[in-house]
Every structure is written in structure tokens, then in C-alpha cells.
Amino acid sequence: MKDFAGKIAVITGGGTGMGRELARQLVAEGCNVAMCDVSEAAMAETRRLCEVEKLPQGLRVTTHVADVAIEDHLKRFRDELAEQQKTDRIHLLFNNAGIGGGGSLFTNTREQWERTFNICWGGVYLGVRTFLPMLVAADEAHIVNTASVNGFWASIGLNQAHTAYSSAKFAVKGFTEALISDLRLHAPHVKCSVVMPGHIGTSIVSNSRKVQSGDGSERLNADEVALTRKRMVAAGVPDADKMSDEDVQAAFAERVRSFLEDAPTTAAQAAKIILDGVKAERWRILVGEDAKRLDERVRATPEQAYDRAFFESLTQEVGWRLG
């Protein structure tokens, strides 16, 4: 697929971050977009940004509220887009939606753990299941599944568990690699790619907290304050055990800001790398120099990938502040 003009793209998690930037760049190339998200307001802003420059006549940008972990939501999304986009086929599927959280089997609830896993993995699986007939019906099509560097390296540091997200992203990576042969055998005109970003400047930290808590607030609740303080103590933050609740709130707010604003790769840059990878029919798309370096290092010394020396040298090399 060398260009996207006149095509129809489905994007999950289109309200913010990479999903929003994928929508903006696809629309700029003349591609119709149908996006879903749990936040109607966030999608409305994405649509507004897409329409800042007047859309070409006939180009459609539609928004659909859906939780990708719920199959009936995705089926409703599919049926709505078929009606609103006036189509029985799509050309691009970006399974992009994801959240963090539920890192530990010990300190997080089962509900938090499974919420993360069911969105990050279940949303990809159900997305492919739901839209595959519409992809097959197109003359050419491409499935793009967002994994992570945590799909080949299951950690964010020595002092913080990261099991739900990493497990889900490993599943996404393996699923997409297995799809290569499945598609070649049964639908050779449909291609697939697994996207593995490093640290991208998005709102995933704050968005994940909102989804996991269900309260939509920017502030931590009492249980989250206590857990955050405990993590800070484990990470060796000076006097973390003596910090007031408001100090912990401020530390979390700074983490949200830093993750978004201090990332080595912006969401817009990530979206361009992904779309260029689709045009080049690359099945494996690493996003960011940090992702490339980590991939090289894990492949070179897999047995040492979770040792302290590996963490410390990685932090120095790519500039990450690991937990």
C-alpha cells in the first residue's frame, strides 16, 4: 500500500496520543478515518484537529464510543462505521488502544490486572476478529497492531512490577508474527505489522489512571496515594516515606507531565514512522532510537536482560528514568 488516498482506516484509541496523530496524518493524505475511544470528548478534539484544514470533498472522519475489551462494543463500532462511511470494506486497521496499570499480581487487584490485559491484548485480538471480513473484502489491506518494547523486554526497572502490560504486549507481538503465515495462506492481499514503540510522548500515564479508577479524575485516590508512596520508597526516592499526600499528588502530576513532554519521540513522529513502515510493508516497526537500542541489547545478551548491570547501563545509554 504505497499511498492512503481514498482508503478507509479504522483506529482504536483515536482520542489521544499516537491514535490522534495517526488520524491527523492519514486525513492529511486523503484517507477516510473511523476511530473509537472510551472518551467522546477526546475524539471530538481529534476530529476538530483533523478538520482544521478543510477536508477534501467527500472525505469522512467518524467517531464511535467503544471499549475495545468488549466485543459487543467493537461489533457496534463496525456496524456504525459501515453505515456512516457507506462501506462494506476497510483498508487499514490500527489496533492502537492501550492502557497501563495492574503491574503486580501482589499489590494490584485482579480487576486492575485483567483490565490492562483485556484492553492491551484483548482489544487487538477482538479488533482483528471483528474487522477481518471487511479487510479481506478490500483489494488490499493492512493490519497494524501496537505492541511495545515491553513485548520483547518485560520490565520498566528493578523496583516496579510490570506483568499485566508486558504479558499483553508479548501476546500482541506473537499474535502478529503468527498472522504473517496465516494471512499468506488465506488472504495474501492483507499484510500485517507489529509496532514496538519505546518512550513516546503520550498521555497514557494519566489516561490509564482514569480508566483503572473509573472516576475520570486527574488526582490519585487515597489507595493510589499509598501505593505510589510505597513505590517511591522502593525506588529509593529520598524521604518518600515522609512525604505528605499532596507531595505524592505533585510527584504523580510531574510524572504525567514528564512522560508526555520529555519523551525522546513525540506522538506525531511515532505516527509518521508507523505510516512509513506500512507503506514499506515492514512487518516489524520499531519506533524511536531507544526502542532500537533496547532491541539490539536484549538480542545480544538475553540472559542478562533483567540483571542490575543491564538496567544501569541501559539507563545511561538511552536516558530512561526506570522505576
Q: Which three cell numbers stand for residue 79?
A: 456496524
Domain ranges for the chain, please list them: 8-202+266-318, 205-262
Task: Give the whole-angstrom CA distance, residue 320 versus residue 292.
Answer: 14
CA dist 27 and 47 (Å) reads 10
- Cβ distance 73 to 66 under 8 Å? yes
Distance between CA 46 and CA 23 in Å, rounded?
8
H/E stretch holding 182: helix 163-186
Residue 38: pLDDT band (50, 70, 90) is: very high
Q: Which residues, 6 or more positions from 172, have their beta carbon under 8 angstroms from its beta carbon?
A: 95, 120, 121, 124, 145, 146, 147, 151, 194
- Confidence (pLDDT) at 257: 79
Show Cβ contacts of residue 305 under 8 Å, excluding neighbours closer than 6 positions: 153, 155, 297, 298
- pLDDT at res. 106: 94
Top pLDDT among 248 and 260 is at: 248
Full-model pTM: 0.90
pLDDT in tens, 135-192: 999 999 999 999 999 999 999 988 889 999 999 999 999 999 999 999 999 999 999 9
C-alpha cell, 109: 487487584
Q: Between 76 and 323, name the one with better pLDDT.
A: 76
Looking at residue 322, its pLDDT comes to: 47
Rounded mean pLDDT, 93-119: 95
Our CA angle for 21, 24, 26, nearest 5°, is: 105
Residue 255 CA: distances (Å) to CA of 39, 175, 263, 322, 323: 22, 32, 11, 12, 11
User: Residue 301 is which amino acid?
Assistant: T
Q: What is the mean pLDDT of the chain?
A: 92
Which region among 26-35, 48-57, 208-217 has the lowest average model confidence (pLDDT)? 208-217
The answer for residues whose C-beta is within 8 angstroms of residue 84's C-beta and 6 or more apart is: 34, 60, 62
Q: How confident is the model at residue 321, as a pLDDT?
A: 56
Residue type, 230: K
pLDDT confidence of residue 54: 77
- Which residues have a Cβ under 8 Å from the Cβ of 101 and sit 6 or more positions away? 108, 112, 115, 116, 164, 165, 208, 209, 211, 212
pLDDT, position 120: 97
CATH, domain range 8-202+266-318: 3.40.50.720
Catalytic residue set = 165
C-alpha cell at 193: 505489522
